[in-house]
Amino acid sequence: MRQQARAWGWAVRTLSRTSLLRISWAIIALTTTTRIGQASEPKTTAPLVVVFDASAADLPQKEIRAAVGHELERPVRADADPNAAMLSIRRDAGGNLVIRYRPPAGELAATVSVANASGETVRQVASVAKRLVTGAGDAGPSPSTSSENRSATGVSHSGPADVPVDAPASSLYVRLSGAVGFGNATYDYRFASGAGRFESANTGPLGSVHAAIGHRATSGVAVGGELGAVGHGPLTKHGNLGGYQLGPFALRLQLGPFVDYYPNTQGRLHLQAGVGVAYSLFQVSVAACGQQCNGGGFDASDDGQVGKSLWGGAGYLGIGYDFGARPGGAGCFARTSLGYFAGERTTMWPLELSLGATMAWF
């Protein structure tokens, strides 16, 4: 019995020592692995350098840096440092934003081209930066236009096929504009008797203001309604209006649809067109000239008819260029406008050229 007891005691002690040894080794291995993993993790509190190429100089750089820092919860610097992680932003030939992330030397870099960034540039750049740096984002995936992964030595490495990027939704489009130019209105009045007519060209400088509101799709097309006022004067008469004088000032009001088209959705050049119902008013009309106006064929039914307000329509074609980033971008444009107005015996064809400035939000 004593020998059996000793045998059982020896077996228990041996098993206990073996189990304790294995557990100890497991604890040591786990601790070592954790420390190694912690040592290899990137320091997320290290500053991130955010730089902008000259092609992206129009972007709100201060706001973008602040948004990137907020998204990543780490400090952001503007000065380049070869030993620090860096986010560089530029525009490609098509006007798209290209955002490149380069971690510290020797690690992988990633590039993503951001299409249709107008309207929410700050939020979108910050979101893409977070996805590039951490591989996480705040919205569902959508394909980017391009991506690549390279090491600092230029050797290609495998990596994610793309980086998810949010495409901004269509947006409200608001445009205010003012212009100056020159116009010529061909005015034709036919006598009631059919014996004659008055013909004149009234020329002079013009000024106009327009307010437009509509919807801009991601395709670069904005459509909506526009209200405009065009003032002419002082007018110069060229031709025969007898004793009548149109002007010296005239005003035209018009309302109708418009369209702005950006061939490149990220570009600044755009084409404009608009058409509308219009009402033309003349400031002064001197009548009561009787027969002396044309020496014959002019009767009482014609008296006071020259210079009456006219209903008609007017349309324009133009080309514009935006200067600043959205929202609130300033721009300029050139337009040519043509109209047609008619009364009982009167027709008028105004032709105008103008240059102007715009402020647009979308």
How confident is the model over 105-158, as pLDDT tens digits? 655 555 656 655 455 677 777 777 777 777 643 333 333 434 344 333 333 333
Q: Which domains does the chain have, with CATH numbers?
A: 48-150 (3.40.50), 171-361 (2.40.160.20)
pTM for this model (two decimals): 0.54
How confident is the model over 256-284, as pLDDT tens digits? 999 999 888 767 889 999 999 999 988 76
CA dihedral 213→218→220→226, nearest 10 degrees, is: -10
How confident is the model over 294-324, as pLDDT tens digits? 555 556 666 667 778 899 999 999 999 988 6
pLDDT score of 285 more than 60: no
Give yes or no for a cis peptide into 164 (omega within 30° of 0): no
- Name the nearest CA neighbour of 222 among 256, 261, 187: 261
pLDDT computed for residue 292 by the predictor: 52
pLDDT computed for residue 317 by the predictor: 97
pLDDT score of 30 more than 60: no
pLDDT computed for residue 337 by the predictor: 96
User: Between these two residues, 66 and 315, which has the higher pLDDT value?
Assistant: 315
Instruction: List, in sequence order, every residue forming a beta bridge with 350; answer none if it has no partner.
Output: 185
Question: How large a percentage of the chain has pLDDT more than 70?
Answer: 65
- Name the nearest CA neighbour of 274 among 352, 331, 159, 362: 352
Neighbour count for residue 95 (Cβ, 10 Å)? 17
pLDDT computed for residue 139 by the predictor: 37
User: What is the mean predicted confidence (pLDDT) over 244-251?
Assistant: 81
User: What is the mean predicted confidence (pLDDT) over 206-228?
Assistant: 91
Cα separation, 286 vs 289, in Å, equals 8
- Alpha helix (H) ranges present in the chain? 2-40, 61-72, 121-134
Q: Which two tokens stand for residue 166?
A: 């949010």
> Which range in 208-212, 239-243, 267-271 is most confidently predicted, on average pLDDT?
208-212
What does residue 249 show for φ and ψ, rounded to 5 degrees? -125, 150
pLDDT computed for residue 149 by the predictor: 40
pLDDT score of 175 more than 80: yes
Q: How confident is the model at residue 166 (pLDDT cuts 50, 70, 90)?
A: very low
Contact 332, 179 (CB under 8 A): no
